[in-house]
């Protein structure tokens, strides 16, 4: 990617999201494929979209696949319904979905702990017709407090993610300001201080935000960064986002956490979608 090697962006650490890349392979083969592409760290959406509490054998098989590949799991979503698909989380949806989220919290935290994963992402959930948004927000805060305590018990941060209105019109957190406001509410309610903003530069750009301003204002509150180019949600260099410049601004602002590659590979195998990234930037360190 032009400008990457010579910029402060080269200081960042990159992992690959195995729920959007390498999906041409079965789940248990993806960690090894990421390792073969040179990556030392991976992240995942909750892999069992229909089950917040899968069988122990399924959890153990995925754990073994990650360990055998020699990669680190650095981020994991809590149960969030059908992803990819129409769902955008479960924790603010009254009834069965929020109950499924709560049932998942300890399972996900235990799985994360078993692999040394220290970041758990909680997608807020869509607005529901006929339900007062204030009721959903109260339920969300209750469930996020529960999740924050579970994350704290394993030494992890709880991530709150902003999506974008064009693709997620029913999702209420569609600005950096809205996402950070929820982070602040959770930290105030728990006193733990372990809730952090997930700064997804693709989603924020789809919302038309001033990304340098977002980086300046919110890097100190950020626990994880994800990237894809825009338009198209493809690899860096396939769209018009100045990602080397933006990653350089993050580095200069003091961000030294993981940058998750959460983009679509396009009409090619995922292993061919990383030519923009120097090999040395892919190793876990």
Which of 142, 161, 177, 245 is flagged as catalytic? Answer: 161
Task: List CB contacts of 95: < 8 A, sequence separation 6 or more.
Answer: none
Which of 43, 97, 209, 262 is flagged as catalytic? Answer: 262
- Rounded Cα–Cα distance for residues 183 and 192 (Å): 11
In sequence order, what DSSP letters do the residues of 177-236 get, joined into one string?
HHHHHHHHHHHHHHS---EEEEEEHHHHHHTT--HHHHHHHHGGGEEEEEE--TTTS-ST
What backbone torsions phi and psi does residue 131 show, to the nearest 5 degrees?
A: -115, 130
- Rounded Cα–Cα distance for residues 195 and 176 (Å): 14
How many Cβ atoms sit within 10 Å of the Cβ of residue 234? 17
Cβ-contact 253, 218 below 8 angstroms: no
Active site residue 135: no
Pick left, alpha or beta for residue 223 (phi over 0 → left; psi -120 to 50 → alpha; otherwise beta).
alpha
Active site residue 58: no
What backbone torsions phi and psi does residue 247 show, to the nearest 5 degrees?
A: -65, -35
Q: How far is CA 226 from the centre of its chain?
A: 7
Catalytic residues: 161, 262
């Amino acid at each position: 990617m032009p400008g990457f090697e010579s910029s402060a962006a080269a200081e960042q650490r990159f992992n690959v999201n195995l729920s959007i890349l390498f999906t041409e392979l079965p789940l248990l083969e993806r960690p090894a494929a990421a390792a073969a592409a040179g990556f030392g760290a991976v992240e995942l959406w909750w892999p069992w979209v229909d089950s917040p509490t899968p069988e122990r054998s399924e959890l153990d098989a995925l754990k073994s696949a990650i360990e055998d590949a020699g990669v680190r799991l650095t981020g994991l979503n809590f149960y969030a319904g059908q992803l990819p698909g129409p769902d955008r989380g479960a924790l603010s949806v009254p009834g069965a979905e929020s109950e499924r989220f709560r049932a998942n919290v300890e399972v996900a935290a235990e799985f994360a702990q078993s692999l040394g994963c220290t970041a758990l992402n909680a997608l807020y959930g869509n607005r529901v017709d006929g339900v007062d948004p204030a009721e959903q927000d109260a339920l969300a805060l209750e469930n996020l407090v529960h999740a924050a305590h579970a994350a704290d018990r394993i030494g992890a941060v709880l991530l709150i993610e902003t999506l974008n209105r064009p693709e997620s019109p029913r999702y209420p957190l569609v600005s950096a300001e809205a996402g950070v406001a929820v982070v602040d509410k959770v930290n105030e309610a728990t006193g733990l201080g372990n809730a952090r903003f997930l700064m997804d530069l693709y989603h924020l750009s789809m919302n038309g935000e001033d990304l340098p301003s977002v980086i300046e204002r919110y890097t100190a509150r950020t626990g994880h960064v994800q990237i894809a180019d825009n338009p198209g949600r493809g690899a860096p260099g396939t769209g018009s986002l100045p990602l080397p410049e933006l990653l350089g601004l993050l580095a200069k602002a003091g961000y030294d956490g993981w940058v998750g590659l959460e983009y679509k590979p396009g009409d090619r195998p995922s292993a061919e979608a990383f030519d923009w990234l120097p090999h040395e930037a892919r190793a876990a360190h």
